[in-house]
Each structure stands twice: as C-alpha cells, then as structure tokens.
Amino acid sequence: MGRAGSTQAIAALLLSSRRLGGGEPEVQQTRQGARLVQNGSVLSEILAQPGATDSVFDVLAASVRVFSPGDRVGILGFAGGGIIAPLRAMGGRHRLSGVDFDRAGYELFCDMSSEWQGDVQFTQTDAVEWLRAQRCKFDLLLEDLSVGRDGDVFKPDVSIDTLPQLIHSKLKPGGIAVFNLLPADDRTWTGMTAKVRAPFGFGVQVLFESYYNRVLVLGNEALLPAREVSRLLRSELDGVDSEMAVDISVRSLRLAKQ
C-alpha cells in the first residue's frame, strides 16, 4: 500500500482509539508509521517499510534470526506485529503465525505492510486456547503478552504459570522459546524468571540499559555461550542500524537438568 493508504489507515485508527476506554491501546502516528501505546508503554511499533524500530522489538527480531532452527514461528501477543519490520529488514523470511485478542493492531499492520510483510497468518482469540489447538509444532515461539491495569502494563499470570510448559510442549526438537518479560504484580524478577525457565534445560537472558524488559531465550539443547550470542545479536542489530546494538547485555542462565 502506498503512503496515502497508510495515512488513511492511521487516521482511522487514531479516530477509533479516542472512543476506547482508558485502559485500551491508543494509536500514535510516527515519522516511520504508527505506534500502539497502552498506559505509557509501547505495545508495538508498526513501520511503513522494513527497518529498525530502535526498541525491544529489534532484539526480539534478532533473537528469531539468530536462534530459530527453522522458519515456522509463532507470536503470542501479536499486537501490531512490532518484530516483523526489523525481522524482514534482517533478511528473515520466516512463516509467522500470530494470535491476539484485539484485531485492530493487526489490521493497521496489514494496511501499512501488505507489500512486504511476507507470510503472516493471524488469529483473533485467546493465546492459550490457540496454542493448545496447534497440531504442527514450531521452530520458535515468541511470548509477548501483556495486560494493562491501574495505569501500568504487566505480564499476565498465564505467561508465567501456564504458557512456559505449554510452549515447551509445542516446540519441535531443538526448538526455541523467547519470552519478553515485564514486571508482574506480585512476583520478583528472580521468582518470575525461575518459573518461566523451569521446563527448559538451557537459556540466556538479554538485559537492556534503556528498557526494564528482560528477554529470555530458552531451549532443551545447549545454546551458544553468552559472549557469542551477544556478538550475533549485535551483528543483526548493526545490520539494520538499530540503536539497540549498544543497549543490550547478555547473560547465561544455568539451567541444565541433572
């Protein structure tokens, strides 16, 4: 779609967002496209062309590029498909299946990216129900759910208590899980991380200087050392001129089961 069509789509969603309640995502127009914002937190960066978002979405995209052993990738919490513009810019041609309760972000994503989005399927439903119904297993599953409440954005309990084991069961041998963690209501980072990583044998953690997110990359086969993971992620980020190349640090998670 050309610039005029994208502008019209943004305008329509800007108008509709004014009618939503205070806890619902709002659409903000940016120089590169649009942004979905909830309680001050960015749920998705939607770009009119493939490229860097200069945000956590670039790191999630780089994680898909570096770790996915194949091209079948599921996104739990699609929102506006924030990882897709950087992923395509990095050369990722993965087949993406996304799920979300809200369809508005997906529709804006399609309006702005139909010329280059590639193979993207979307289902509007509950993420747990959708994942349980999947018969074919995934090379990589990205968990990116959040819930807005009391003027802030948190990880829902299902992301910590239910999805880790379910995601583990829906991965191919050698498959990878990526969790984009946010603060939770009544859990410490240590406790939350321990529950999310429990089904898996190996993992690394990506920390940020500019964001309070923590990204966990988990699998049942040994991953590369943290220093090599850092190098590979930074290489992907540098390749699309993402500011996140100098924002991240990578640490090993010692999870190997006895």
* Residue 165 dihedral angles phi and psi, to the nearest 5°: -70, -40
The mean pLDDT value for 156-177 works out to 96
Q: Is a pLDDT exceeding 90 seen at residue 256?
A: no
The mean pLDDT value for 100-113 works out to 91
Predicted confidence at residue 107, as pLDDT, reads 92
Contact 171, 138 (CB under 8 A): yes
Which residues are CB-neighbours of 224 under 8 A, at least 6 positions away? 232
Q: Per the structure, how many domains does the chain have?
A: 1
What CATH code is carried by the domain that includes residue 194? 3.40.50.150
H/E stretch holding 10 reads: helix 3-17
pLDDT band of 154, cuts 50, 70, 90: confident
Which residues are CB-neighbours of 254 under 8 A, at least 6 positions away? none
Predicted confidence at residue 33, as pLDDT, reads 86
Contact 211, 56 (CB under 8 A): yes
Q: Is a pLDDT exceeding 90 seen at residue 171?
A: yes
Q: Alpha-carbon distance 256 to 254, whole Å?
A: 6
pLDDT band of 78, cuts 50, 70, 90: very high
Neighbour count for residue 70 (Cβ, 10 Å): 15
Predicted confidence at residue 30, as pLDDT, reads 84
The mean pLDDT value for 35-53 works out to 86
pLDDT in tens, 114-135: 999 999 999 999 999 999 999 9
Give domain status of residue 35, yes or no.
no
Give domain status of residue 13, yes or no.
no
The mean pLDDT value for 74-82 works out to 95
Give 210-248 as a DSSP string: S---EEEEEESSPPPPHHHHHHHHHHHHHHTT-GGGGTE
Give domain status of residue 18, yes or no.
no
> What single-letter amino acid sits at 143?
E
Contact 105, 79 (CB under 8 A): yes
> What single-letter amino acid sits at 182?
L
Q: Is a pLDDT exceeding 70 seen at residue 80?
A: yes
Predicted confidence at residue 140, as pLDDT, reads 98
Give domain status of residue 223, yes or no.
yes
Give domain status of residue 84, yes or no.
yes
Contact 39, 65 (CB under 8 A): no
pLDDT in tens, 185-244: 788 999 999 999 999 999 999 999 999 999 999 999 999 999 999 999 999 999 999 999
Mean pLDDT computed over every residue of the chain? 88
Give domain status of residue 179, yes or no.
yes
Predicted confidence at residue 151, as pLDDT, reads 60
- Which value, to the nearest 10 degrees, does the dihedral of the CA atoms of residues 130, 213, 10, 72 take? -40
Predicted confidence at residue 255, as pLDDT, reads 62
Q: Is a pLDDT exceeding 60 seen at residue 162?
A: yes
Residues of the domain holding 113? 48-253
At residue 191's C-alpha, the angle toward residues 131 and 60, to 5°, is 50
pLDDT in tens, 9-39: 444 444 343 333 345 678 888 888 888 887 7
pTM comes to 0.89
